[in-house]
């Protein structure tokens, strides 16, 4: 006996065997059981989600010899013939191969004749959007005045190409892409029935590669069984699919978070050893960045374990600022689009990561202590003066000596061990009142969405570690004028203005403008680390 592929062998034969599409099954079941049957049905959705399968089950429900119901017997002659694709009154048409109007008219000429074997003559037209305009016109005439013994079941992956006149005469059902977990669960059931050893992680990989299509996933499962010699193991499936190890993606983001260019290049080299599809690598990176962004905005939202380990996501949430995640996502998105334009995929991917490294937002550094002589020398020189933070004593009995609440909070935030969302909350808060170790903070409304319970707890823990005592924090949302972020922006603006004035008065710059008719397009002040 010849081998039957899994996608055909395990094709559902009743509505109860279908995986997913409950909204479609419920409507069709009620229509069949109550005998409220329309003459034309349109099933839309991506490939492999069950359009023609549902249509065939529906045709079997209409023609079962036991009677019209949502549960055909599966044993009568009509049911067996429909399952074997040889029922004379089920006319299956591939519209892609019958685009000519003459072929369509020839097909519909027999519509007026009564069915030979069944209760209804059913026309199942797959990829109906491939019909020509003339073919649609021929079909429309029949759809407007169909004989009572005829039912039309239309299926398409591209409903936008169907004329409105056709759409308006059909009951439309939009089939959804199947979730990865649902596909993996069904693959597990199939392998248990087939008595084939398998690993759950391997099924997750296959289900993800199926991209919402059960048929594609079953075809990949067939391939995995052959590749693994009768077993479905994680290592073999990963090699077969050319999947990217998630740890490599985590390593890339960790190097970016640490601003470590050598480590980033090393991670890229490790990744390159497996000759990956760099478009797929960027897709994995985009998925992980999306999970991190969601965790930063809504820490209590459920996490999808299929994309990344929740603990790894939380760790990267702390290591990366929200604006960094957003920037990295946009750069990866554009890089994936333009990757085909690069001289070679490896170089194009490397440039995408280096772009992330070079254009990451500037971050306020922690305390910098310079001797007075060094500071005086800097003030007398033309180099920009870095942000200075004085040392604050760590006392459990007395609060730090401060000039004002604004400067006190600015100094305190600079000395705290903070990162991620918690640091952003602290940077955009203004100290309204302090009594010992009780703080009343006002947070700008534009950043109120950052004030989550985990961020508040991390800020409180950092203050307690710094002050050596229990701390009480209270937040209010209101207008702020003197936050550390305001101070940072003001300093940046002053440095920018100083750099502009210095550049304009530089005799060398003036000479270049006169000699080459040059003009200044942008001026960026150098940080101390820039030399």
pLDDT band at 526 (very low <50, low <70, confident <90, very high): low
* CA max distance for the chain: 104
CA distance 335 to 358: 15
270: number of CA atoms within 13 Å, CB side? 15
Q: What pLDDT, on a 0 to 100 scale, did the predictor assign at position 385?
A: 33
CATH of domain 402-531: 3.30.300.150
Residue 414, pLDDT > 80, answer yes
Contact 40, 171 (CB under 8 A): yes
Using alpha carbons, select from 185, 268, 262 the residue that is nearest to residue 221: 185
What residue spans define the domains of the chain? 6-174, 180-241, 248-358, 402-531
What is the CATH architecture assignment of 248-358?
Up-down Bundle (1.20)
More confident residue, 223 or 363: 223
Q: What pLDDT, on a 0 to 100 scale, did the predictor assign at position 509?
A: 76
Q: What pLDDT, on a 0 to 100 scale, did the predictor assign at position 99?
A: 64
Residue 92 phi, psi dihedral angles, 5° rounding: -95, 130
Three-state secondary structure readout of 239-279: HHHCCCCHHHHHHHHHHHHCCCHHHHHHHHHHHHCCCCCHH
CA distance 337 to 348: 11
Q: What pLDDT, on a 0 to 100 scale, did the predictor assign at position 380?
A: 41
Mean pLDDT computed over 409-432 = 89
The rounded mean pLDDT for the chain is 82
pLDDT digits (tens, 9 = 90+) for 291-301: 899 888 887 77
For domain 180-241, say whether CATH 1.10.8.60 is its number: yes
333-365 burial, b if ≥16 CB within 10 A, otherwise e? bebbeebeebeebbebbbebbebbbeebeeebe
Q: What pLDDT, on a 0 to 100 scale, did the predictor assign at position 175?
A: 93
Mean pLDDT computed over 316-328 = 88
Contact 255, 263 (CB under 8 A): yes
Q: What pLDDT, on a 0 to 100 scale, did the predictor assign at position 397?
A: 34
Which residues contact residue 141 at a Cβ distance below 8 angstroms, ignoring those fewer than 6 apart? none
CA distance 97 to 105: 14
Bridging pattern class, strands 429-435 and 438-443: antiparallel
Q: What pLDDT, on a 0 to 100 scale, did the predictor assign at position 167?
A: 92
pLDDT band at 393 (very low <50, low <70, confident <90, very high): very low
Residue 485, pLDDT > 90, answer no
The H-assigned helical ranges of 16-170 are 22-33, 51-63, 77-83, 101-108, 133-144, 164-167
CATH of domain 6-174: 3.40.50.300
Residue 367, pLDDT > 70, answer no
CA distance 181 to 216: 15
CA distance 512 to 505: 12
The model's pTM is 0.58
Using only the alpha carbons of the chain, give its radius of gyration: 33
Q: What pLDDT, on a 0 to 100 scale, did the predictor assign at position 28?
A: 93
pLDDT digits (tens, 9 = 90+) for 140-165: 888 888 889 999 999 999 999 999 99
Cα 18–24–30 angle (5° rounding)?
100
pLDDT digits (tens, 9 = 90+) for 166-224: 999 999 999 999 998 899 999 999 999 999 999 988 898 899 888 899 999 999 999 99
The CA-atom distances, in angstroms, between 468 and each of 14, 283, 394, 475, 526 are: 68, 45, 7, 21, 37
């Amino acid at each position: 006996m010849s081998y039957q592929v899994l996608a055909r062998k395990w094709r559902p034969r009743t509505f109860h065997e279908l995986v997913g599409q409950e909204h479609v099954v419920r409507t069709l079941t009620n229509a069949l059981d109550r005998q409220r049957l329309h003459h034309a049905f349109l099933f839309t959705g991506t490939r492999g989600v069950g359009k023609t399968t549902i249509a065939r089950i529906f045709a079997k429900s209409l023609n079962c010899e036991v009677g019209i119901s949502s549960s055909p017997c599966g044993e009568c002659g009509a049911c067996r013939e429909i399952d074997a694709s040889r029922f004379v009154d089920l006319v299956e048409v591939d519209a892609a191969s019958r685009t000519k109007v003459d072929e369509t008219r020839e097909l519909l000429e027999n519509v007026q004749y009564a069915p030979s074997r069944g209760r209804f003559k059913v026309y199942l037209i797959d990829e109906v959007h491939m019909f020509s305009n003339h073919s649609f016109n021929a079909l429309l005439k029949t759809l407007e005045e169909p004989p009572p013994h005829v039912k039309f079941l239309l299926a398409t992956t591209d409903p936008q190409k169907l004329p409105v006149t056709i759409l308006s005469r059909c009951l439309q059902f939009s089939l959804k892409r199947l979730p990865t977990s649902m596909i993996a669960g069904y693959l597990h059931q199939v392998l248990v029935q087939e008595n084939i050893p398998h690993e759950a992680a391997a099924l997750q990989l296959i289900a993800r590669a199926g991209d919402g299509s059960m048929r594609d996933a079953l075809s990949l499962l067939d391939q995995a069984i052959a590749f693994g010699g009768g077993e479905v193991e994680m290592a073999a499936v990963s090699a077969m699919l050319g999947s990217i190890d998630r740890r490599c993606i985590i390593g890339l983001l960790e190097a970016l978070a640490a601003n470590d260019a050598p480590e980033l290049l090393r991670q890229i080299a490790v990744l390159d050893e497996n000759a990956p599809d760099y478009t797929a690598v960027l897709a994995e990176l985009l998925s992980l960045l999306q999970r991190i962004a969601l965790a930063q905005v809504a820490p209590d939202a459920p996490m999808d374990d299929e994309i990344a380990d929740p603990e790894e996501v939380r760790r990267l949430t702390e290591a990366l600022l929200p604006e960094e995640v957003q920037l990295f996502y946009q750069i990866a998105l554009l890089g994936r689009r333009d990757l085909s334009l690069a001289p070679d995929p490896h170089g194009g991917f490397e440039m995408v990561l280096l772009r992330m490294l070079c254009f990451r937002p500037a971050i306020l550094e922690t305390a910098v202590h310079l001797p007075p002589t060094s500071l005086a020398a800097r003030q007398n020189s033309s180099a920009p003066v870095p942000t200075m933070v004085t040392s604050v004593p760590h006392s459990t009995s007395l609060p730090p000596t401060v000039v004002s609440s604004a400067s006190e909070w600015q100094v305190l935030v600079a000395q705290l061990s903070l990162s991620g969302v918690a640091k952003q909350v602290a940077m955009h808060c203004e100290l309204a009142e302090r009594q010992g170790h009780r703080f009343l903070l006002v947070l700008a409304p534009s950043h109120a969405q950052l004030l989550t319970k985990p961020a508040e707890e991390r800020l409180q823990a950092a203050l307690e570690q710094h002050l050596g005592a229990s701390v009480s924090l209270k937040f209010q949302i209101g207008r702020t004028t003197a936050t550390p972020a305001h101070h940072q922006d003001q300093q940046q603006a002053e440095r920018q203005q100083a750099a502009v004035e210095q550049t304009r008065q530089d005799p060398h710059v003036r000479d270049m403008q006169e000699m080459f008719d040059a003009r200044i397009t942008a001026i960026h002040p150098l940080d101390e680390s820039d030399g």
